[in-house]
């Protein structure tokens, strides 16, 4: 069996490895380190959690131990897709280079440019950066990449997912052609293959596991779930998550809960805290200082549940994560491998449980096609119990427009005859609809008895008919002589109005 002492690393690096408690390299380390020490380009393909970070940090420290950096001209460059992964790489350098005099700088968003400029001006041996912040410094004229001797691209497939490939290609054009390139990825998409063919020169390909496979130490399962009603499904799904956590009991010492959307991250974290679970959210919209505090608390064991978006699916190295819960089936099948790779690390056992609703079944099929096996179906711990949580606010919001629309339709139907009556009436009272009775809302409170017309009265004229119809709807109508409209009072016709019509007819 290969040991670190057999890999021809520098003595000071060997000492740091021993102090860290490592003796045997992982397969990706055993394959990549010798080739990197020879100065060859390396293409490393391995599932997450297999020790890819040490595969490039250890040979880099050995090679950079001799020499000195110049101001604004780093000697090596490590590109990472997220702030968390970049910070993890920086921690690895601190661990393995503590006996070697090397300087480093971490260029990530959320940190002052001024502080980073001070480090660059002094000259750094190792520059660790996210692509966007690196190009920001370059465009400001604060950084030169013409002295880079070793360039590392970590989690290249995540770079592709996050749209960093154009930035990566530009950065490659800024570093010397004679550099050594170490390229690491968990999966090998066609676009990644194209980049490696373009920018790597006869690389040593180290593939220690079939692409996009999950560790065999991770127990996987999925619960097929359908809400009792569409508007109640989100709250019932959160209840199912809590039931799954409770079912695991003490075995679930800590867990990462992944959601597809940042909004859901906040909602799930808030829901768990409401029901007494120690949880906190982490996603790209949060302030960097808050993200750092949350991650530090989770690593230290002060926080039990970390609710995260895919920003934490890469580069979150917490060796003792017991469980991963996928609250949503990931939209990209490759993300499933990276999510569950947060547990079962370094040979430990882990458990990954996923919730799948009907609209996510297609994504589940894509995941199973990628990993080339069916994920075992689990029984819901809720059984057929009715949900305890009330319908969400969104459900109530969905129902309100329906009621308001029905009221509008009814109102339009009631007012339609009134609109037709705004013009002078031409038909006689006998032609009016027989069922034209007012609604209760239109009946006046002081319901006086109706004034009865004399029995020998002649048929009502157009004026009288018009006044009655005008009083029924919106209260508009004109008399025979075109007088101002008389406001309607339901079926009640005041006596003084009726007498005025009698006087006109008599005249």
Structural domains of the chain in order of their starting residue, each with its CATH number: 4-207 (3.40.50.300), 218-391 (3.40.50.300), 416-506 (no CATH)
pTM: 0.61
Confidence of residue 437 (pLDDT cuts 50, 70, 90): very low
Bridge partners (DSSP) of residue 307 are 257, 281
Q: Is 427 exposed, middle or buried (0-12, 13-18, 19+ CB in 10 A)?
A: exposed
Stretch among 61-65, 264-268, 286-290 having the lowest mean pLDDT: 286-290
pLDDT score of 449: 46
SS3 of 402-422: HHHHHHHHHHHHHHHHHHHCC
pLDDT digits (tens, 9 = 90+) for 358-374: 999 999 999 999 888 99
Q: Is 420 exposed, middle or buried (0-12, 13-18, 19+ CB in 10 A)?
A: exposed
Place of tokens 């290969």: 2
368: three-class secondary structure by DSSP = helix
Ranked by mean pLDDT, which of 129-133, 405-409, 456-460 comes out on top? 129-133
Asked if residue 40 has pLDDT above 90, the reply is yes
Under a CB-based contact definition with an 8 Å cutoff, are residues 249 and 322 in contact?
A: no
pLDDT score of 448: 44
């Amino acid at each position: 069996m290969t040991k670190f002492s057999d890999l021809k690393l520098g003595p000071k690096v060997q000492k740091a490895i021993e102090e860290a408690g490592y003796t045997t390299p992982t397969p990706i380390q055993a394959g990549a380190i010798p080739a990197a020490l020879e100065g060859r380009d390396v293409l490393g393909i391995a599932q997450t959690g297999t020790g890819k970070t040490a595969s490039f940090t250890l040979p880099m420290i050995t090679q950079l131990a001799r020499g000195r950096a110049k101001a604004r001209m780093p000697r090596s460059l490590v590109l990472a897709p997220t702030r968390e992964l970049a910070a993890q790489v920086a921690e690895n350098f601190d661990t393995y280079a503590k006996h070697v005099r090397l300087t480093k700088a971490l260029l990530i968003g959320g940190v002052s440019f001024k502080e980073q400029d001070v480090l660059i001006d002094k000259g750094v041996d190792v520059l660790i950066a996210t692509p966007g912040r690196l190009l920001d410094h370059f465009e400001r004229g604060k950084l030169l990449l013409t002295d880079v001797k070793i360039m590392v691209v970590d989690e290249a497939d995540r770079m592709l997912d996050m749209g960093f490939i154009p930035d990566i290609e530009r950065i490659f054009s800024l570093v010397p052609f004679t550099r050594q390139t170490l390229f690491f990825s968990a999966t090998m998409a066609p676009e990644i293959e194209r980049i490696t063919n373009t920018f790597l020169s006869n690389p040593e390909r180290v593939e220690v596991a079939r692409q996009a496979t999950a560790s065999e130490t991770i127990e996987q399962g999925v619960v097929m779930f359908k809400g009792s009603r569409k508007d109640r499904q989100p709250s019932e799904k959160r209840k199912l998550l809590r039931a799954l956590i409770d079912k695991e009991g003490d075995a679930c010492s800590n867990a990462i809960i992944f959601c597809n959307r940042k909004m859901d991250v906040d909602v799930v974290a808030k829901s768990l805290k409401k029901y007494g679970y120690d949880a906190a959210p982490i996603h790209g919209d949060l302030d960097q200082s808050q993200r750092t505090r949350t991650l530090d608390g989770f690593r230290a064991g002060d926080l039990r549940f970390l609710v995260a978006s895919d920003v934490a699916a890469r580069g979150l190295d917490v060796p003792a994560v017991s469980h991963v819960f996928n609250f949503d089936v990931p939209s990209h099948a490759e993300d499933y491998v990276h999510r569950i790779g947060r547990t079962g690390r370094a040979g430990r056992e882990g458990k990954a449980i996923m919730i799948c609703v009907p609209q996510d079944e297609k994504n589940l099929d894509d995941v199973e096609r990628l990993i080339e096996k069916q994920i075992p179906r689990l029984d819901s711990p809720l059984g057929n119990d009715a949900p305890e949580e009330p319908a969400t606010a969104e459900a109530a919001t969905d129902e309100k427009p329906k009621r308001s629309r029905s009221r509008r339709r009814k109102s339009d139907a009631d007012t339609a005859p009134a609109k037709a009556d705004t013009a002078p009436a031409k038909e006689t009272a006998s032609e009016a609809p027989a069922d034209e009775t007012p609604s209760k809302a239109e009946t006046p409170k002081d319901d006086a008895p109706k004034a009865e017309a004399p029995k020998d009265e002649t048929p009502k004229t157009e004026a009288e008919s018009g006044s009655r119809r005008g009083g029924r709807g919106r209260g508009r109508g004109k008399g025979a002589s075109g007088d101002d409209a008389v406001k309607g009072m339901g079926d009640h016709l005041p006596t003084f109005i009726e007498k005025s019509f009698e006087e006109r007819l008599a005249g």
